[in-house]
Structures are given as C-alpha cells and as structure tokens.
A and B are shown apart, each in its own frame.
Chain A
C-alpha cells in the first residue's frame, strides 16, 4: 500500500488552513444578524412603544 504523497499531504494541509480561515466568516455573519435585530428593536422602541 502506498503512503500518501507529499503533494497530497501538503494539499490537505492547505485545505485545512483554508477551512479554518473560512470559519472566521461566522463572526461578521453573526454581527450582521445582530445589527439587523438591533435595528428592528430600535424601530419598535422609537415608533411603536
């Protein structure tokens, strides 16, 4: 049985780093959701209460 080539290993490590970086997008996505929710709450407090 062949061991994985150095190229395969390097590519897998690159992909791992890329996926770890992609997870950072969760922060702006959640901030955007929070900003929209806060805007809705502000509209409620300002015009409906």
Chain B
C-alpha cells in the first residue's frame, strides 16, 4: 500500500472513531427513553397480584442529629398513620445531639408510652449507617418487630403510605419496599421545583421501569421498609464503609435473592436543598457513593445470574449511562469538533442525528414524566422542559426544525447570519454539550457572591439542572480519585415540609 493509501485508511478510521465518539452521547438518552417505554408495562407487570392485606409489627427507625425543629412533628404524624396502632412503634436513635432533640423525644416517649423509644449514642458523628445500626441492634435483639421502616427525621408519611408498603411483604420473596419520596416544601423555589421533577423522573418513572426489569438500583433512604428476614439475611445491619449505605443495602438484599419493590402509591414528603451549594454537597455524597458501589460490585455488572437481576444488560446500561454521562458528553463534543475539522458536512449530519434522537427521547420522557404526579407536573412543568437548560432546549428546537432558529428568527428582525457568525455558532453548540458542565460549576461559584441570589437561578435555567448533576458527578470522580475527606455532611432541614 502506498503512503497516500495508508493516510486515506487512517483518515477513514479517524472519521469512524469520531462518529462513535458522537454516538456515545446518544447512549444515555436512548437508555433513558428505553426506560420510559418500560413505564406503561408497569400497568400489567407489577407486584400487586402477589401483594395482599398484611399488617406486620413495624418499628419505624429514625436516625436523628440535632433535629429538634422537626422530630416532634414527625413522631406525631407517624403515630397518626392509618395502621393498627398496636402494631406500630417508633424508635429514634439520637446521634449525640447537642440541641433540644433529647428533651423533645423524652416528651414524645411520655406522650406515647410503649410506642416511642428513644435511644441515644453518646459519641456520634460516624454517619447515618452507624446510627441506624445502633437502632437495628436493639430492635432485632427483641422478636417483636416483623419489619423495620427506615426513614429520616424530616420525612412526612402520608396517612396510608405505610399500609401501602406492608402489603408487598405478604409475599415472602420480597425483602424490602421503597416509597415515592416527593419534594414537599411549602415555600417552593427554583431549586425545589427542579428537584421535584427530578424525583418524578427518577422514582415514579425509573423505579417503575426497574420494577418491570426486576432489579432496583436503590431504595429511597428516607422510606425503605425491610422485612425482618431480609435484615437478618444481610447480617442484621446496614453495611458501613461507603457513602451509599442505601444502595449497598439494596444490592446486598438482592444478591441474597430477595426482591425489592417500589410502591408508587406510597407517598412521603421530604424537604430538599434550596441552593446550588446545598444540593451540591448532598449529591456529591450520593455520587461518590455511586463511584464506590460501581467498584465494589464490579463482578456483578453485565453478568446475568439466576438468583438476581442486577447483572442484566439493561440494568447495567441504565446504571452506567448515568454514572458515565459526563464522559459521554465530553466524547460527544470532541467527536463533533473533530468531524467539523475533517468534514464539516458530515459533522452537521451527525450532529442533527444526535440531537434529533436526544430531542425526541427527551420530549417523550418529559411528557410521560409530568403526567405521573399531577401536583408536581402543574407547578414544575417549566423546570421539566428546562431540565437540560434553555440553551440546550433551543439547540433541540434548532435540530428538530432546521432553519427555524438560524434563518427564520433572524429574518424577523431583517437580519441574516454571516458565514463567520454561523461558524462561531456551530463551534459554540458543539462545545456546549460538555461546556454546560463547566458553566454549572460557575453558577455554584456565582451563588456565593453578592449577585448570586438572583444570578445563580438564572444561570441554572440557562445551563440546566441536568448538566449541573453531571458536573457534580465529575466532582465525585475527582474527590474519589484524590481520596478526599468523606466525612458525613448532614443536609440542613428546618421543617419546611407541607403538613
């Protein structure tokens, strides 16, 4: 082969590699769309047929550290649940609180004698899993409890939520049941509206799809009901040593052959962060936990197994399409810029294919999502459509309707895009896929400044909540790579949840 021939082959290989790079950007959206296509199947493939009226003796286990503003109301609401009163106890493990939490709990123990148990750790701060294990040790030492509901101090259970969860434990194959945690702040802001829609997508949609596929990625930390048998099977304690104790407990339960069920009709309300910084700290903990889980269970992924569904291809794709989403975004940008330099027409074609696929998948996912919880859909539909950010939303419109943004819109003002402007715009759009993550980082930095109060929400609407979550995932890679301090930082809660 001549030198020119070798160069031509190398050139063609490079073009194919760049197309593959761009295509990786489509994998997460196509995987997400696949999951949303699973959602209607939950109408027929669900656990209701094997569920039955079932009222086991339940201990509600609440870890608490300086929860005086919220814990009293939480205990009161739990005692008002629509559940046989002699089959329900509340056990609060006070993790060496320094506020009035012990006094509030002492008063509640007097108010509900025999039903509210107050345990105290004199040395706290080791994290949630250690606090829970202190309580589990006491609860499982006695044979009264047939099931344990693990929740958080600020979570509000709707009256019928517990009985909707326990009915699935009538099937002995079920080890645990998770409820739908909805964002429930009275005074919503832009951040809580984004979180509300995220929870609809990640729980009401994704966890229904996981019910259909037979494997759950994670039980909601604030509302997970375990059977006694399941807890005993995983050693009677929540695994410690990671930042994702909920996910590890979920995986361990499934690896021990037990089924996890998501119950979409058991609704609980929780207070969520209201600022970028608050959300960043909370999600960084979750994302770092996911990095740890991905490594711990490295021998489980993509290896189908008779005893559980965690090794299914679809489940693995779902997990890694979120975990590796930032890589996919960067590869996509690199591929597009590379193609632009080599063959600009091909770059445009591939870009349109990517964004049309992404737009159609996104539109379908959001249209399904906003119908799943009408209350959230009504107040957060704008955040649903601006989830990827206003800039990306405009790019989607441009990809779906060629000429609308770049020709028709300027023509309304008698303008026409010059070739140089067109090139700048093209490069910006190709780079934006990954630059959005950097912009989200910037929004966090801006929040701490004097203008942050009004500018950072504006930036998040422009940049997108989704890219911000990707930026947090990148931060988690960095923190785990550097073995950064993994001290448990509690998300501040002040009792804003709807009564």
User: In the bound complex, what is the Cα–Cα distance between A47 and B402 (angstroms)?
Assistant: 9
Within 8 A of B (CB), among A1-48: 1-2, 4, 8-10, 12-13, 15-16, 19-20, 22-27, 29-34, 36-37, 40-41, 43-44, 47-48
Within 8 A of A (CB), among B17-52: 36-37, 39-40, 42-43, 46, 48-49, 51-52
A32 touches B367 (CB 8 A): yes
Give the A-B pair count, Cβ closer than 8 A: 88
Interface string of B143-180 (1 = CB under 8 A from A): 00000000000000000100110010000000000000
Determine the chain A residues whose CB is within 8 A of the CB of B363 once the complex forms.
36-37, 40
**Which size bracket describes the interface of A in this complex?**
20 to 34
B403 touches A29 (CB 8 A): no
User: In the bound complex, what is the Cα–Cα distance between A34 and B87 (angstroms)?
Assistant: 45
User: In the bound complex, what is the Cα–Cα distance between A43 and B141 (angstroms)?
Assistant: 65
User: In the bound complex, what is the Cα–Cα distance between A49 and B402 (angstroms)?
Assistant: 7
Chain B residue nearest in CB terms to A2: B86
User: In the bound complex, what is the Cα–Cα distance between A24 and B304 (angstroms)?
Assistant: 30
Chain B nearest CB from A46 CB (Å) reads: 11
**Contacts A2-B86, A22-B265, A33-B364 given; does A8 touch B48 at CB 8 Å:** no
Determine the chain B residues whose CB is within 8 A of the CB of A12 once the complex forms.
53-55, 163, 167
Chain B nearest CB from A17 CB (Å) reads: 8
B40 touches A27 (CB 8 A): yes
B265 touches A4 (CB 8 A): no
Chain A nearest CB from B378 CB (Å) reads: 15
**Contacts A4-B55, A4-B84, A16-B52 given; does A36 touch B367 at CB 8 Å:** yes
A23 touches B48 (CB 8 A): yes
A29 touches B160 (CB 8 A): no
User: In the bound complex, what is the Cα–Cα distance between A48 and B363 (angstroms)?
Assistant: 18
User: In the bound complex, what is the Cα–Cα distance between A13 and B48 (angstroms)?
Assistant: 10
Chain A residue nearest in CB terms to B48: A20
Q: Among B87, B264, B400, which residue has its beta carbon within 8 angstroms of that of A1?
A: B87
B400 touches A33 (CB 8 A): no
Determine the chain A residues whose CB is within 8 A of the CB of B48 once the complex forms.
16, 19-20, 23
Of B37, B40, B368, chain A has the most CB atoms within 10 Å of the CB of B40
**Contacts A2-B86, A16-B167 given; does A44 touch B401 at CB 8 Å:** yes
B167 touches A29 (CB 8 A): no
User: In the bound complex, what is the Cα–Cα distance between A31 and B364 (angstroms)?
Assistant: 10
Determine the chain A residues whose CB is within 8 A of the CB of B356 once the complex forms.
44
A23 touches B364 (CB 8 A): no
* B→A interface (CB under 8 Å): 36-37, 39-40, 42-43, 46, 48-49, 51-55, 57, 84, 86-87, 160, 163-164, 167, 208, 264-265, 356, 360, 363-364, 367-368, 371-372, 400-404
* A→B interface (CB under 8 Å): 1-2, 4, 8-10, 12-13, 15-16, 19-20, 22-27, 29-34, 36-37, 40-41, 43-44, 47-49
